[in-house]
Structure 1
Amino acid sequence: MRVKLLPVLLLLAVAPFPGHGEDLMDAYRQAVANDPVLATADAHRLLVAEGVPVARAALLPQLSAGLEMDQIHSGGSTQTTSGNGNIVQTGGGGHVRDRSLTGNLSQPIIDLSAIANLRAAHAARDAQEQVYQAALQNLYVRVANAYFNVLVSRDMVDINRAYEDAYKQEYDQTSSRFKNGLSMAADVSQSKALYLFIKAQRISAEDALKDARRALQQITGKPVGELKKLRDDLPMQAPQPDNEQAWVDAALKTNPTVLAARYAVTSDEHKVTAARAGHLPTLTAGVGYNKFGQWSNTMPGTGAYGPATTTVGLTLTIPLFSGGLTHAQVKQALYQRDADQGVLETQRRQAARDAANYFNLVTDGIEQVDSARDSVEAAQKTVASMRAGYTIGTQSLTNVVFAIQYLANMQSEYTVVRHQFVLNKLLLKQAAGTIDMRDLEAVNGLLQ
């Protein structure tokens, strides 16, 4: 009876059971709310976006007002002027109060450096927006990868438990046969050693499952409950379009990491222009208002504000020499642009490589999944045959052990490749920069 139940036992170890656990979209919604990586990217996006109004402020009117009050104390005699113009000496001390009201309004008319800095800020904002989009797209993949790692680790535990049970059966049967004089002591020692070895592997698999659950919790910020499993009848469809170069071209055009690097270079070019504009004159229009008054305690009632003065003019500033500062700033801007151009080219090549690689992995994964499934079915039949042969004495214990080990390996391979196939389809769309919520929902539809 145990010979007949063993293949069923090993099959049930990886067979999906219906359930009502958490699904992929539950994990994603938790990640969006709690993932610190995405929150950091969003904060940086908002931070860099504020650079636009900061840069724009240099081109807008600047208005300021001031009030100055001074009090001058004097000791001994004080000189004052009488109504007929004679100077009169008065005894004692006194003080004089001065008040000044000022207002200034300035408007840059020509400032090429400020204009270039505003354009650089716009490009920097666009670059950071693409960085955020890359982080959001990466979150889709990180959640799916962490979710699948839990499923695969759980399958590995089940496989190792079934594997351990199989060796325990072999150990028990060999011990029984040895007691009845039907096997040698070496067979008992061998089966016991293998059983204990697989038991240790099962413990390692359980530790890996615990860590996989913690990895998912690290993203979602919530404890991981029972997860829905990937159903066995996966749709094995080739990528659309079924053309490697089409995916590479898409990656070069729409991959957000490439776009971010491209906007960064654009921002650098505007910063070079801004630095070079440091050699150019600036023209500013200004309006000034000033009102002055004076009061003295020695002649009460004589203080008052004088007539206000208003000045209107243009200020032309021509930089002549700043100790080499402008020249050095231009060189810094050029070097930064060159460095970011290198980053852009690196990102372009990486995106093209990733798109081609994941296209091939998805295409070849169809055959890989089918082959792994067929191998599991063949291995199950082999184990049943070897166990039956060992019972009647036509097969050795070594052959039975190899058959069980091969079955476990094939089941492990099958659970890995089928989850990786689904994940590779997401990675392909991420490389092209086209992954979105609908793709994650489609994967979620494969769970049960």
Structure 2
Amino acid sequence: MLKFRVARVAVHLFCAMASPAFAADLLTVTQQTLGRDSSLAQARAGYAAAQQAVPLARAGLLPQISAGWGRTYNRLATDGFPTTTYWQSGWTVNIAQPLFDWTKWSNYKQADFVEARGAVELNAAQQAAILRAVRIYFEALVAEDELRRVSEYAAAVDQHLQLINRGKAAGEATLIDLRDAQTAREKVALERMDAENTLLAKRRAFEQATGVPFETLARLPESLPMPRLQPEDIDAWAAQAKNHAFDVQLKQLDWEIARTEVSKAQSAHLPSVYLTGSYTPAGAASGFSRPTTTTTGMLAVSIPIFSGGETQAKVEASSALEDKAQEGFTGATRDAEAAARDDYSRYQYGRTRIDLLAHLVASSQEVLAASRVGFRVGSRTASDVLRAIDALYSAQRDLLAARYDAIVALMQLKGDTAALSIADVVQINNVLVH
């Protein structure tokens, strides 16, 4: 029963892959992933909040106006005079305008960096979501192709096993030849089971990322020349990553924010100057039995004298955090440069490896064809044919994986330089669709 279920799953998966009319392309999968990605949604919300940093900081530099209304009961009792009671009601207006407050001015300068950081986080999250979609797509595609390859591998082994059985019946094959073929068949059956299990796992990951049922995926054409990098200079790509990688931009903004925090902490030593005023119309003045209008205006200067060491502690703490942010920026530039060099080398190596593997597949096909002919005429053994079959399908497996690895490396390299966009997905998708 278990063998029957496994076989049925394999037939179902293989038949689904054989229906290109319903194939999902890379662009569709990427769009579905972008619409569902929770990290990207969080980054959008974070950027919406960061956009309010400038208005909030600017508000601290603008006049603050407040108004109020009240009604008061008053009772005046004076020795030798009759007690007087009366009600007062009215309204008052207060205004305060900062003339010099370095903390608020530093907040305003810092707000630009906060908003810029939100934008960079959003762009970085979108690029990361694109890379996740690309990986999910090609990992699922590799799993599909692996199951297809194993099925063809199994068919070739079965064909050879039939020849062995006929040869043994005619006295032309030995029991050892039969055992070798049966062992190869068991091996390919195990590979097929692994391929089916891997495909099911990739299918679940696909559905979780896109939110839609798994579909057959558009495949790369059999012959696909890998594009050359522009420029073909590892130092140029490393410099681009060092200056523009999203993580580098974030760490640089963190450093700028930390520097303004130092300025804010130091500003606690400085005086602050405010212009204040209030207007209370007749009838609202507290403490007067007759309607009285009160208007006040004042230039207030506040000078910090002693805060118990709090100000100095804040300065030292913010200076240490600035050093931390600076080191984070330095580390990010090194990591970005190293990642770009690794992905550049990985892609260039992948291009070379694809060419070599393509040549190896063609040579293995010729060797298998020659081995089959030699087996029929007696110049090659059954083991020679099995080795040729195994060599061919092993080379095919490596070629398929190398092609997809190279594409992912190319996308990752562009991501290292913060240059990856939907346009790159569209370019690869056009190759898949056509």
Task: Give the structure-1-normalised TM-score.
Answer: 0.84
Match of 2:387 in 1: 402
* Matches of 2:106 and 2:141, distance apart in 1: 53
Letter in 2 for 1:368: R
Pairs within 5 Å for 1:112-261: 112-261=102-251
Match of 2:418 in 1: 433
Question: 1:372 deviation in Å?
Answer: 0.9
Match of 2:277 in 1: 287
Q: 1:58 to 1:305 in 2, by over 3 A?
A: farther
Q: Tell me, which stretches of 5 or more residues in structure 1 are unaligned?
A: 1-12, 296-302
* Matches of 1:45 and 1:405, distance apart in 2: 54
Question: 1:368 deviation in Å?
Answer: 1.5
Matched, 1:53 2:71: no
Matched, 1:24 2:18: no
* Matches of 1:97 and 1:228, distance apart in 2: 84
Question: 1:79 deviation in Å?
Answer: 5.3
Contact 2:20 2:216 in 1 (8 A): no
Moved more, 275-284 or 227-236: 227-236
* Matches of 1:373 and 1:214, distance apart in 2: 31
Identity of aligned residues (%): 26
* Matches of 1:70 and 1:169, distance apart in 2: 104
Question: 1:158 deviation in Å?
Answer: 0.6
Contact 2:68 2:93 in 1 (8 A): yes
Which of 263, 266, 273 in structure 1 is aligned with 2:263? 273
Match of 2:81 in 1: 87
Contact 1:52 1:118 in 2 (8 A): yes
SS of structure 2 residue aligned to 1:87: coil
Question: 1:71 deviation in Å?
Answer: 4.3
Q: Which has the higher Rg, Structure 1 or Structure 2?
A: 1
Moved more, 315-324 or 172-181: 172-181
Task: Give the structure-2-normalised TM-score.
Answer: 0.87
Q: C-alpha offsets along residues 361-407 of structure 1, whole Å, 9 cap, x if unaligned?
A: 33333322111111111111222222333344433333222221111
Q: Tell me, which stretches of 5 or more residues in structure 2 are unaligned?
A: 1-14
* Matches of 1:138 and 1:207, distance apart in 2: 27
* Matches of 2:77 and 2:116, distance apart in 1: 69
The number of residue pairs the alignment matches comes to 417
Which of 398, 405, 419 in structure 2 is aligned with 1:420? 405
Letter in 1 for 2:50: V
* Matches of 1:334 and 1:42, distance apart in 2: 31
Moved more, 141-150 or 17-26: 17-26
* Matches of 2:232 and 2:316, distance apart in 1: 47
Question: 1:415 deviation in Å?
Answer: 0.8
* Matches of 1:233 and 1:283, distance apart in 2: 74
Q: 1:278 to 1:180 in 2, by over 3 A?
A: same
Question: 1:100 deviation in Å?
Answer: 5.7
Moved more, 352-361 or 278-287: 352-361
* Matches of 1:406 and 1:17, distance apart in 2: 29
SS of structure 2 residue aligned to 1:319: coil
SS of structure 2 residue aligned to 1:65: strand
Question: 1:168 deviation in Å?
Answer: 2.5
> What root-mean-square deviation, in Å, do the aligned CA atoms of Structure 1 and Structure 2 show?
2.9
Match of 1:300 in 2: none
